[in-house]
Amino acid sequence: MQDTQIRGNNGPRYRHKHSDSAPYENIRVEKLTPIIGAEIFDIDLTRPLSQAQQLEVHRALAENQVIFFRNQNITKEQHLAFGSLFGDFHIHPAAPHVEGLPALMKIHADENSIRANGEAWHTDVSCDQEPPMGSILHIHTCPPHGGDTLFASMYAAYEALSDRMKNYLNGMTAYHDGEPVYRGTYKNLGVIDKPEYPHAEHPVVRTHPVTGRQALYVNRGFTSHLIGVPKDESTAVLKYLFEHMENPLFQCRFRWQQHSIAFWDNRCVQHRAMWDYWPNTRSGHRVTVSGDKPFYRPI
Ligand SMILES: [Fe+2]
């Protein structure tokens, strides 16, 4: 049956089967698509969350992979406090941070920028041995139009593969390299390069430690090659996977407003930021939550 499902005239390529585990009682959750993304209402992040709200925010993240909040005019300290509810802070190996607050990464592009953050599909810092679990981005200055962020579900990307391709990839590992990504990248902002940047070998199919679901875990930003297969095979398979995972079927697209917040799960989501607003300014801060070492567990 599997091969007939992907020919194009036998129903959808991807049949989404996951639904929320229970109604929410302390927040309101409105999905952007059935597959990925939800907006969270009836919550004020300038005030401490109740234990019940915190648990439901965590559940909403697990069930939707990326969650969004509107009109949250939070201070830097409130941003850090919210992030700390979900784990320790991850400190970026290269990017500039707010002075005196290394856990608060600056996200900024204006008419003089030579680059903007996240212009290619990636998961944050997947070159780390223990890549960040999640990233929480607060945008305080928006361009009049544009600057959207796209998010893609790597659960859906994995599940839409043929059974033969899943079998091929399950248990395989890939090399993620920070060196070509970070060396010299922030030179114009006065950042002096470190002697070396992180690199790591991770499973190509990653089992999510909270949901137990399988996700594709290679990305254009950091994954240089597959381990244990010839280079030409690695290049060809990665090219296929990178194109496959960019299918809009697996995506949602978030339009920022002043004081919007996005919280995405790097273990099962890739994202890409649009720099379509030049010469306007887009500016904010990111708090990044530490994660664990990726693993693959057969189901
Ligand atoms: Fe990113």
Segment 251-263 mean pLDDT: 98
Plot region of 228 (φ>0 → left; ψ -120 to 50 → alpha; else → beta): left
| Catalytic residue numbers, as ranges | 122, 124, 271, 286
How many angstroms separate the CA atoms of 106 and 76, rounded? 11
Task: Give residue 148 CA to ligand 1 midpoint distance, Å.
Answer: 13
Residue 250 main-chain phi, psi, to 5 deg: -95, 5
C-alpha 23 – ligand 1 centre gap (Å): 31
**Ligand 1 center from residue 51 Cα (angstroms):** 28
pLDDT at 77 over 80: yes
CA of 273 to the centre of ligand 1 (A): 8
Q: pTM for the complete prediction?
A: 0.95
pLDDT at 7: 58
Pairing of strands 260-265, 134-141: antiparallel
Opening angle at CA 117, ends 199 and 73, nearest 5: 120
Instruction: Compute the residue count for the chain.
Output: 299
Q: How far is the CA of 118 from the centre of ligand 1 (A)?
A: 5
Residues above pLDDT 70, as percent of the chain: 97
- What is the tens place of the pLDDT at every residue in 175-233? 999 999 999 888 888 888 999 999 999 999 999 999 999 999 999 999 999 999 999 99
Q: What is the mean pLDDT of the chain?
A: 94
Q: Residue 6's pLDDT band (boundaries 50, 70, 90)?
A: low
- Give the sheet arrangement for strand 149-153, strand by strand: 251-254, 149-153, 269-273
CB atoms within 10 A of CB 150: 17
Q: How far is the CA of 254 from the centre of ligand 1 (A)?
A: 14
Domain ranges of the chain: 2-289
The CA distance from 261 to 33, in Å, is 18
Distance between Cα 26 and ligand 1 center (Å) = 29
Distance 7 CA to ligand 1 centre (A): 33
Output the CA 220–ligand 1 centroid distance in Å.
12
pLDDT digits (tens, 9 = 90+) for 123-165: 999 999 999 999 999 999 999 999 999 999 999 999 999 999 9
What residue type is 166 in one-letter code?
K
Please determine, looking at this structure, whether the domain spanning 2-289 carries the CATH number 3.60.130.10.
yes
What is the pLDDT at residue 1? 42
The pairing of beta strand 66-69 with beta strand 38-41: parallel
The distance from CA 189 to its chain's CA centroid, rounded to whole angstroms, is 24
Chain mean position to CA 140:
20
Residue 209 burial (10 A CB sphere; 0-12, 13-18, 19+): middle
Q: Is the pLDDT of residue 4 over 50?
A: no
